[in-house]
Chains A and B, each alone.
Chain A
Amino acid sequence: MVGLAVACALSNMPLTKHLRVGIIDSNPALKSRNYLKKDGIPDSRVSTITPATMSFFRDIGAWEHVQQQRHAFFGKMQVWDYTGLGYTRYSARDVAKEYLGCVVENKVLCNSLLLRLQEENRDIEKMIYPTRLVSLALPSKSRQVPTSEATSSGYTSGELHRSNLVKLELSDGQTLYSKLVVGADGSKSNVRQAAGIKTTGWNYSQSAIICTVEHITENDCAWQRFLPSGPIALLPIGDNFSNIVWTMSPEESLRHKSMSPEDFVKSVNNALDFGYGPHPRSSSLDFYMEKLFSDVGSTAASTKECFEVPPKAIGVVSERMAFPLSLKHSHDYVSKRLALVGDAAHTVHPLAGQGVNLGFGDAATLAKVIVDGVSVGADFGDISLLKRYENDRKAANIAMAAVLDGFQKIYSVDFGPLNVLRAAAFHGAQYISPLKKNIISYAMGDTKWPLLL
């Protein structure tokens, strides 16, 4: 998905249009390039697209294709926890926007990028290599020490040119040579391993269960409740469907995966309602908070909104999938003639749905760096050029990973005083208007740094 976005961005800009881009992916989904029907049951693999990602899609001309397929904007978000001490409601009106984000199935995003790519490149079939990467050989480090022997020792010019490129061997026996390889092959990236780039990270001893559920009415709000075992999120995906991302221990996730659909629905409804603890109520704490901040000045519009109970699920309509969660960060995003984007460079906790947005941020920046390089006649596989991409993205990605990791840690402990602190933080987020606006902006991808007011 992120790799397609890089290809799409490059083919959309006048300076990089001429570049020959190859996409190596054996996923059969790359073959279907028609609009997906809206009446089917939504896929459980979805992404929460921030306005920043949306504007990137608009820039590269792919958003109009998303709009022709299923997607669900949401303008409200409610976050609360199981202790019943606090809740926060975010509203797009707080930051004078129409929506906070949009939930889109991954296959819709993928499809939209492909359709856009097809508009720009008639012979898209030639771009796509429906095969796998077998091996990857980076050029030796030393284009910098060309000696005169190299020319006199009978190299043909073709050999000489190729010796300076990345050699890719594919599972169908083809061999490709490339000036730049973009590794967009996920958290277990083969490209990253072939390049010998190390990662830092840890597993969360948590798994996430994802699936699609159905309601009686349409859901228009993103809901997230922190439970002792991890957060559960209910995201609108259009019509009467919602997507569930539920984080829990690996054992629990196996149990929830194998239980009967009826029991699972019960369990979901319980987790989003009275399960594990009471609803948050207006309390004396609220009274003081309100008094305090009404003196300070403007409060966010959503301050007065009461806690609501999310709509009940009436059935689970997709397969339940479970996958382990981890945090992984690549030491380097680039090396000579190689760049890593998306999950290949960084895997974050999925609790705020930020992972894919960071990936699209990578794609946008990498494409821009390549455009800048081409405009000044640089070799765009040059490490000093690619370093500019790394410098730009690494700090932003680490900040987001740390924020999400912190959240995960705060909520994985059930300890009285900490619960109260957490609740106070929720109250703070609910009542301190600039803080709230900043949290929203950061989560929407409008600001690069958390808490720079």
Chain B
Amino acid sequence: MLRRLTPSLRRSLLTSSSPSAAAVPGRWGVPLTEPGASLPHTLLPQWRLCSSAASHSSPPTPPRPPSPPQGPKRPAGGSTVSSLNPAEVAKFAAIAETWWDSEGPFKPLHLMNPTRLSFIRSTLCRHFRRDPNSSKPLEGLKVIDVGCGGGILSEPLARMGATVTGIDAVDKNIKIAHVHAASDPSTASIEYICTTAEDLVKEHKQFDAVISLEVIEHVANPLGFCESLSALTVPNGATVISTINRSMRAYATAIVAAEYILNWLPKGTHNWSKLLTPEELVLILERASISVQEMAGFVYNPLRGEWSLSDDISVNYIAYGIKKVEKASVESN
């Protein structure tokens, strides 16, 4: 599976990074499982190197973030080490009160929210074969929002009909999310728990869809985190992850501009070296038995003050994958 995916991934990454090769299939985003045209020969050695590196669990060229698993894969729920970074948890607790202030420190998330949700809506509608014209297309689906913060993603998911569980490691966030959701009957049923993905895995909880947006760049161990997300997803369920690319453009816009010039984010919100490239994310997810189906980028239009989906994944991007059934995950090890 991994060998089959990697060439198409490489191809699509190359496609999306060079503007001249704009013929990306789909409305937006990069379908990753349909390689389409054959791969140019010049790329073959590279991807072979990459995929063999990955399957032998020695770190490939992208240096730090995907800390490679040593030895056999950890059994789901067997880990006692949390993937959370205590310093990151403290950082978010300090600004938790302001979660629902659309002009406050979480302004970028508020602005981006409709765009993230339209990706989630359309991929989940396709995945679960739901009617996109329904006002509650996610009715009856169990969805977990990992790293829910003040609940700005959980609430819209609940309005779309999903049975939502929101978890966050910061107790203050959970309190805020709970109080805020309680003031609207359509969101009052959301279950907010102060816990971590790892702990829920130990309780053998599973969900039809697992969503974790703008979280993986803050965790100490991305692979362990993805394995937990995978363990929380039912076989053939959906996983959606969004994060920031580790590119020069991301450094310039998401860190320098957003944190230092525009003051959109508190300084130090993102640490560049902890960011993942889309390629790394796909490899990590692949190892956690999630096969990425589609990716899309978010681009910001400063004139309209709005975000939109695009195939440019050089800064903010989102990925949707399917949790493979057990057989496939054995194969990838």
Contact = CB atoms under 8 A, between A and B. Distances in A.
Interface of A: 14-18, 143-148, 150-151, 157, 160-161, 163-164, 372-379, 382-385, 388, 391
Given A157-B188, A376-B114, A377-B121, 5 more contacts: A146-B183, A161-B185, A377-B117, A378-B114, A378-B117
Contacts of B43: none
A161 B183 contact: yes
State the 8 A-B residue pairs at the shortest beta-carbon distance, nearest first: A377-B156, A376-B117, A146-B179, A377-B159, A144-B100, A14-B133, A377-B160, A164-B183
Contacts of A160: 182-183
A143 B99 CA distance: 11
Contact of B135 (A15, A151, A382): A15
Given A16-B135, A377-B155, A377-B158, A151 B182 contact: yes
B303 to A, nearest CB: 11
Contacts of A385: 114
A391 B301 CA distance: 14
Contacts of A150: 179
B180 A146 contact: yes
A376 B121 contact: yes
Contacts of B52: none
B184 A161 contact: yes
Contacts of B155: 377, 379
Nearest to B158: A377
A151 B183 CA distance: 10
5 contacts: A144-B104, A157-B188, A374-B135, A377-B121, A378-B159
Given A148-B175, A377-B117, A377-B156, A383 B183 contact: no
B180 A376 contact: no
Interface string B93-114: 0000110111010000011011
B118 interface: yes
A45 B192 CA distance: 56
B32 interface: no
Interface of B: 97-98, 100-102, 104, 110-111, 113-114, 117-118, 121, 133-135, 155-160, 175-176, 178-180, 182-185, 188, 304, 306
A382 to B, nearest CB: 8
B184 to A, nearest CB: 6
A413 B155 CA distance: 58
B101 A144 contact: yes
A375 B101 contact: no
A385 B117 CA distance: 14
B156 A146 contact: no
Contacts of A145: 97, 100-101
B157 to A, nearest CB: 6
Contacts of B110: 384
Residue in A16, A161, A375 whose Cβ sees the most chain B Cβ within 10 Å: A375
A151 B188 CA distance: 12
Contact of A383 (B97, B102, B306): B102
B38 to A, nearest CB: 38
Contacts of A148: 175, 179
Contacts of B158: 377
B276 to A, nearest CB: 25
A149 B110 CA distance: 25
A176 B299 CA distance: 41
A151 B174 CA distance: 13
A147 B179 contact: yes
A17 B135 contact: yes
B184 A164 contact: yes
Contacts of A14: 133-135
A143 B100 contact: yes
A365 B156 CA distance: 22
A378 B156 contact: yes
Contacts of B304: 391
B183 A376 contact: no
Contact of B183 (A17, A163, A372): A163
A448 to B, nearest CB: 15
Nearest to A18: B135
B194 to A, nearest CB: 13
A179 to B, nearest CB: 8
A157 to B, nearest CB: 7
Contacts of A372: 114
Nearest to A381: B184
Contacts of A384: 102, 110-111
A59 B204 CA distance: 50
Contacts of A151: 178-179, 182
Nearest to B120: A376
Contacts of A378: 113-114, 117, 156, 159
B182 A157 contact: yes
Contacts of B97: 145
Contacts of A163: 183
Contacts of B121: 375-377
Contacts of A143: 100, 180, 183
Contacts of A144: 98, 100-102, 104
Residue in B155, B176, B179 whose Cβ sees the most chain A Cβ within 10 Å: B179
B117 A379 contact: no
A374 B133 CA distance: 11
A15 to B, nearest CB: 5
A374 B135 CA distance: 7
Contacts of A375: 118, 121, 135
A376 B179 contact: no
A377 B139 CA distance: 12
A379 B114 CA distance: 11
A16 B136 CA distance: 11
Contacts of B159: 374, 377-379
Nearest to A144: B100
Contacts of B156: 376-378
A161 B181 CA distance: 10
A8 B117 CA distance: 27
A373 B182 CA distance: 20
